[in-house]
């Protein structure tokens, strides 16, 4: 049986350059399938105000006056590449957004969904007839409205909460994480995560050929080290102190079920690899803001039920 080459990346947070690279990763790394592990949507919306004959935007700490459409497109691309959403609006609309309760949320949602639509169109063009399986998952930072949008894509498979059969392997996916200080969408207490995992894991016929695709990394494994924060979310001691923030339910599930491979994200700073019994656990980390797509290149042998090769890459 021929080994299967998988490219796994995660946490691109709206970075269009990373999405484009993700779509090109299969060809570049000669991968048989590509998986994006969650936190697809961005965190920042940058208003571009329209005026008579020009636009204005504050980007990277600098106020810019844009005189031409070409220049406008260029700055929009730069904003998208950094993982932000450029939002064209009049000064009045901007005032309205700033003052009206819920208006920003609504606009944010619109921008996220329209961006995702564009991304899925790109995937259609790039991946064509779906010869290369492309699997997407939610992450704790992704609002639930993206789920049906991805579900409807003809060439992208939405994996959240599912057991997928991938040509000799099983993929179990969960974008939920243990609670964070930011109170995000898909997070739940550890006691609630364990039954969620068990509910899908128990459907798996063969753990030896199974991949856990859980957004939260396992607790205390070095794949979950984030800067320790104070009550105001400020890193303490100059950011020198790291602490484990992963999920205990995820760790327990890996230890109990011992899948062949377990891929994670969520904690961008914690790029790493950890052997947990027979399970190889990986967090490729993320530096989406730099336009670099960090990922894991994995070669899986279905016959042996083993990860035969792995490499963390900065594409």
Partner 1 sequence: MATEALGEERPALFLRKATGLVRGWSVRDSMIYACLATNFVTLGIYEFTFAGPAFPTGQLITAVIISGIWVSFLVIAYSGLIVTIPRAGGDYVWQTRILGSGLGFVMAATGWWFILWLWAPIYGNILSVQLFQPLWATLQWTWPAGGAVWFGTKNGIFVVTLITIALAGILVSIGMAGYAKIQRWCFIGGMIGFLVIVLLLLVNSHASFVSSFNLEAHKLFGINNAYASTNTAAAKLGTTSSLGFGPLGPTMLLVPAMMFFILWPNWGSTLYGEIRGASDFRRVFTGMFAGLWITVACTVVFLLLVAKTIGWGFYQNLNTLDYNLKPQFGIWPYPFMFAGWMVHNTAFQVALILVLSLWFFGWVGTLFLSSTRVIFAAAFDRVLPDRAAEVSEKRKVPFYSLVLMLLPAVGLAAIYSYSATFRTYTLDATLVIAVTYLFSAIAVVILPWRKPELWQASPASKIKVLGIPIVPVSGLITIGLLAFCLYEWLSNSLYFVNSRDSLYYMGAMYVLAIVLYIVARIVRSRQGIDLGLINKEIPVE
- Site residues for partner 1, 132-191, by CB under 8 A, read 140-141, 143, 180, 182-185
Q: Which stretch binds partner 1 (CB under 8 A): 58-66, 130-138, 192-200, 202-210?
A: 58-66
Nearer to partner 1, 53 or 102 (CB): 102
x/- mask, partner 1, residues 189-228, rule CB under 8 A, reads -------------------------------x-x---xxx
CB of 211 to partner 1, least distance (A): 19
**307 binding partner 1? (CB under 8 A):** no
CB of 1 to partner 1, least distance (A): 16
CB of 165 to partner 1, least distance (A): 26
CB of 215 to partner 1, least distance (A): 10
Distance from C-alpha of 164 to C-alpha of 158, rounded to nearest angstrom:
10
Q: Which stretch binds partner 1 (CB under 8 A): 22-30, 128-136, 154-162, 204-212?
A: 22-30
3-state SS string over 43-81?
Answer: CEEEEEEEECCEEEEEECCEEEEECCHHHHHHHHHHHHH
CB of 133 to partner 1, least distance (A): 18
Q: Are the C-beta atoms of residues 120 and 80 closer than 8 Å to each other?
A: no
**238 binding partner 1? (CB under 8 A):** yes
Distance from C-alpha of 273 to C-alpha of 268, rounded to nearest angstrom:
13
CB-side neighbour CA atoms (13 Å) of 239: 1
Dihedrals phi, psi of 279, to nearest 5 degrees: -90, 135
CA angle 302, 307, 312 (to 5 degrees): 140
**292 binding partner 1? (CB under 8 A):** yes
CB of 230 to partner 1, least distance (A): 9
Bridge partners, 292 (sequence order): 287
**47 binding partner 1? (CB under 8 A):** yes
Q: Are the C-beta atoms of residues 177 and 310 closer than 8 Å to each other?
A: no
């Amino acid at each position: 049986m021929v080994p299967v080459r998988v490219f796994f990346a995660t946490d691109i947070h709206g970075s269009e350059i990373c999405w484009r690279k993700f779509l090109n990763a299969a060809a570049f790394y000669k991968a048989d399938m590509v998986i994006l592990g969650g936190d697809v949507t961005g965190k920042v919306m940058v208003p571009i105000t329209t005026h008579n004959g020009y636009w204005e935007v504050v980007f990277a700490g600098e106020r810019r006056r844009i005189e031409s459409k070409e220049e406008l497109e260029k700055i929009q691309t730069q904003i998208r590449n950094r993982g932000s959403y450029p939002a064209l609006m009049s000064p009045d609309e901007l005032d309205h957004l700033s003052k009206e309760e819920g208006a920003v949320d609504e606009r944010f949602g619109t921008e996220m969904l329209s961006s995702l639509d564009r991304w899925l169109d790109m995937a259609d063009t790039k991946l064509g007839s779906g010869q290369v399986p492309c699997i997407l998952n939610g992450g704790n930072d992704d609002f639930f409205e993206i789920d049906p949008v991805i579900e409807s894509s003809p060439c992208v498979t939405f994996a959240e909460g599912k057991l997928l059969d991938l040509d000799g392997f099983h993929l179990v996916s969960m974008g939920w994480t243990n609670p964070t200080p930011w109170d995000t969408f898909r997070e739940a207490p550890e006691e609630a995560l364990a039954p969620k995992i068990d509910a899908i894991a128990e459907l798996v016929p063969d753990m030896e050929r199974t991949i856990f695709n859980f957004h939260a990394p396992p607790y205390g494994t070095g794949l979950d080290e984030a800067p320790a924060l104070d009550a105001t979310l400020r890193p303490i001691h100059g950011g020198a102190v790291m602490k484990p923030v992963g999920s205990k339910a995820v760790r327990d599930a890996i230890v109990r079920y011992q899948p062949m491979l377990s891929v994670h994200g969520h904690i961008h700073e914690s790029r790493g690899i950890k052997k947990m019994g027979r399970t190889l656990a990986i967090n490729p980390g993320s530096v989406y803001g730099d336009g670099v797509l960090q990922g894991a290149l994995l070669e899986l042998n279905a016959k042996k039920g083993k990860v035969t090769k792995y490499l963390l890459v900065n594409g």
